[in-house]
Structure 1
Amino acid sequence: MKKVININFQGRVIPIEETAYELLKQYVDSLRQYFANEEGRDEIINDIEGRIAELFSERLKKGTNCITDDDVRAVVASMGRPEDFDAQETELGGGSPQQERKQQSYQHSQQSQTYTAAGRGRFYRNADDKILGGVASGLSNYLGIDPVISRIIFVVFFGFLFWVYILLWIIVPSKSVQSNITKRLYRSSENKVIGGVAGGLAAYFNVDTWIPRLIFGLPIIVGLVSSPFGMWWNDWDFWGGPRVLTGSLSVTLAITYVILWIALPVAVTASEKLEMRGEKVDLNSIRNTVKEDLGSFRTKAQNWGNELKETAENLGERAKTFGQTAGQSAKTWATTEAAPVARSAGSGAGHVIGVLFKAFFLFVGGIIALTVLGVMAAVFGAGVVVMPFKGFFLEGALQNTMAWSTLLFFFGVPILAFLVWIIRKIAGAKKNHYIAYVFAVLWIVGLISFITLISGIERNFRGGAKVQSDITLNPVKDRLTVKVTDSKVRYYGGWPHDFGDGVRFTDDSLELSNVRLKIEKSPDSAYHANFIKFSNGRTDGQAENLARTTSYNVTQWDSILYLDKGFSIPRGAKFRNQHILVSVKVPIGKRIIIDRSVNRKLNRWFSLGSDGRYWRDWEWENDGYWVTGDHNRDIEYIMTPGGIERVEDLDADELSRGRYKMKPNENDRRNDDERIDQQQRDDRGDDKKYKYKSDTTAPRQDTTTVRTTAMYNGAEMSKEEYSHEKTSSGMRHSLFILGRMFQL
């Protein structure tokens, strides 16, 4: 049995056999001797050791308990020995690092083509490199692409590919797969303009850098150029090409670029740059890459040196002073304050309670955060749908700008931040506080925009007015029928967006069924009708003008009253809570039929409300009767002195005599008797001398009133007398108790 030790190798804890460690040490020492006279030898050795540490970590992920002698020999064989490269250089007769790198790249590409020609083999889920099932890693290994690409695609298109992922997880078997991926996706640290995403994609797909830059930049540039014209001429498409190029595609590409910018790591080391280009990672290639980087850096340093020398000296002096001061302060704080607090917090039951509270608050905070995120995602989706019709609600460039800023920053940034966090977790990227600060600043900008937008919209609805129009009704019979006609608005072209509840958008208008029917008692023996048009506005005058321009018709034909289904607001006009109240006044003894079309075509009332008292008086006064009930059939009502009633609920014989009496209802009588019995049981105890007795001899007037009497010491009294006597008895009992207390 061999002894196993743990070593810290390039920032990684590696369990390794002691004999294997001796082999590794000998190999590293030989590298130091080989590169002793090379320029940048320290960088070369660090990059080689970093690559070896990565290979060791990959072997440990596959289930190996520790690094053995065979593992070290395999890594050394893949990286190459110094003497092997001496022989290779002799055969090639020397050459520049660029020529050597091209030769190695050609040989490596030939090996990759040989593997591809041999076939990819069977598709398995990767049991060694998995986050959730190993589907993305196995698919990437089968296709020969970086697993990060597959994982990002599954996350971005989660709604479309969710069930595909689940099916592959169930159907495809799992197996330990030997990785054959020769290229990794990184951001380029050299060929970059904004983030280096395009440079990294160009290196990965082996194309010129301008191609991915054109793909990402063209839709955004065209959209920025055409958007000012679209603000002034909504019906004229300045671009003239497919609108998807300046619409959804540009937004999707911009979001994709930002996600890749945040999720992908930068190719910094020589081995990472070689992986980005798909070149073989060995001693010679790492050495050549480091030499190229040093040469490029030397050229840039010579150009910038004279300009930055003085600034660098000043900054160095300031950094030195700041470092000394900060180090002394940190040392003082750690010895005088932090150590006692840490010892106190980490001892006994207090530490356990603190951990439990932390776990509880993290759980509650996670639930709240997910809920808020879900609400923001829903609002963001609704905002994207409604945004093309913002012209009906917003006015002025400021409100339009604040609306876009609110949608993108206040609601969109948290969603993007969550997606970026998930993708960075998948990619295994290191924490970056700068990203959190950027998201926080953008969200604060969105919050300010949201407050400004709400304030501006509130001013648009501050005023209020109403305009009333009266209609004289002359039905042929003593019966009026109310029907709702189909909409007079016709749609030609475009896609109508129906949001339900009486709201319908088209390319050129907004149709509202914001109409409510109210039945009232007529002051005389004739039918009357009026409709009131309400509206808000920035001022009362503007509100009155909007109310007057609202087109709504109420017409009579014979004994039928026809109501329009709704009214439309043309493009260019503004929605300011316009709504219609139709009031029909019915004389006592006369009837009205509510057609089933009223319920099917008049949508629910909705109103943004107002502070004016007259609004509540007109809309919610108590002397009217809102029509409710089952309107899938025609219902006939009759106006009685007590209010409107259904004809089918009244006693037909009494109605023929001109009296309005409800039909007897045995269920109501039984409920009244049960209520009286319950009251008697509640009054037992100190009030045993009281007893209710139902007066069954009295004629029954309606279904909601029951005459009762009470027996008090054998004498019959009315319920009012009984209640008064019971209250007086209770007061006498309370006074008696108080008197006894004062005597004590």
Structure 2
Amino acid sequence: MKKTTTINLAGMVYHIEEDAYQVLRQYILDIKRVFSSQQGVEEMVSDIEVRIAELFQERLNKNKEVVTLADVEEVMVIMGSPNQFDENYDGEDEEFFHHNDYHQEQGSKRLYRDTDEGMLGGVSAGLAHYFNIDPVLIRVLWIVLVLAGGSGVLIYIIAWIAIPEARTTAQKLQMKGQSANLDNFRAFAESVTNEAKTGFKRASNSVKNSFKKKDNPISNIAKAIGRVIGFVLFLVGVLGLISLTLFFLADYSFFFLNNEVIDGDINSIIGLIFTSSVLAAWLIFTVSIIPLIFIVLAGGMLLFNQKPKSRTFVLTLLIIWFIAIIGLSFLGIRTGFDFKETYKSHEKTYVEGVFPEVQVNIFEDDLLITNSMDYDFDQFISITQNEVNLGYARIEVLPTSDSLFYYSIEKRSNGGSLKTAKENSEEIKFDIEQEGNVLNVSGKYGFPIESKMRGQKVFLKIYVPIGKRIILNGNLEDYPIRLQTRTRFNDEFLEQTSVWEATQLGMEYRGL
């Protein structure tokens, strides 16, 4: 049974055996004595105490809560003897540090931001230390990422928030892969002193010092610019969060996607694409909102001069973000399998009766397209509770050696299997009605919402017997219609009702 005492080391409370405490106390006093003439000794001793506390923490667990003499001796061997730097020391007890069974701890690198050598947040300098490369290469990579689409800005902001700054001497040594022992503490302190004396970083220090002066014009300008940037980032982030939330929660009637007008809310669109609509909606929302949160955090840091947020909070967001990206990728792959097979159905229909010509009317939602209308016929997707209208059927007019007018309808669709693709194709709705020599064509086609968007398309081909004519009524200049002609025809021919005659060489324009 041994007597124990309680100590406060680097802000942490430890229970330690009394004889171990006496050895540790003398060890720290020796450090202070030997390094008393060293510039910044208090900071150095504080860093050494932090490192000793870390080593103690590694040796404690739920089954061992007291620091023993053996622990202290092991830590002393790892840290090294302060007496080796004392010119008046006679070498007594030094044998303990040279012949002890413990081995010197090997240095292991840790990723920190190096604000001493960094130009902005120290991210590039810290990564350069970690990967042992020139920081210029890292900075060039950031520039490439920014020019390649702006992703470098977001990644840098995330890294700035997530990677801690190397503040203590021990952290700066670990950043460079050096063991946090007395040799390296002293070498680091001497290098800083020598650099200051020789003016190695004269320009850098002068700039940094100028920034630290409260009334310095450069400092004021830099702070003002930083706050402007912070305000912009904060405002963009907040507006983005509000817009994104409303975008997913509100019932929007119209929005644009890839230059297409969509009548429906975002959740309906997601449900039309992904096999699991609810999960896909949450994953897309998560992947979209977390970068906006990082932008708000970065803007707040610059605008309100805040310190970086909790690493645990930032890392938690990053983990959630990466999990959402991975989940969305797997869901996308699963949805992609539904496009594996393609099925095409063909339906051929003759126009009943013998006519020298036929007329074609195009209807837009039961509204006849006339010469006075100026439609651009952009792709338009409308979603109702039971049906999806997916755009306009492609029409092609061709000559034929047959004596009768006829048309063929081709319906295409994809599916995970050929059977599913066939079922999706058969569910496409597209109407043509004949009234004498007039074909009333529904410009749009649709399908049940349960079929989902699986590449459904409709192609209508109208065949005109050679020597006979077809009349295309209405302004169809911008409609997806094609005529098989000998030479390229001008779209202006379709601005008004136009007449076309079938010949051996193709369709010929015959005016109005």
- What TM-score do you get using the length of structure 1 for normalisation? 0.34
More strand by share: 2
Could you say which structure has the higher helix fraction?
Answer: 1
TM, length-normalised to structure 2: 0.48
Q: Which has the higher contact order (CA 8 A, sep 6+)?
A: 2
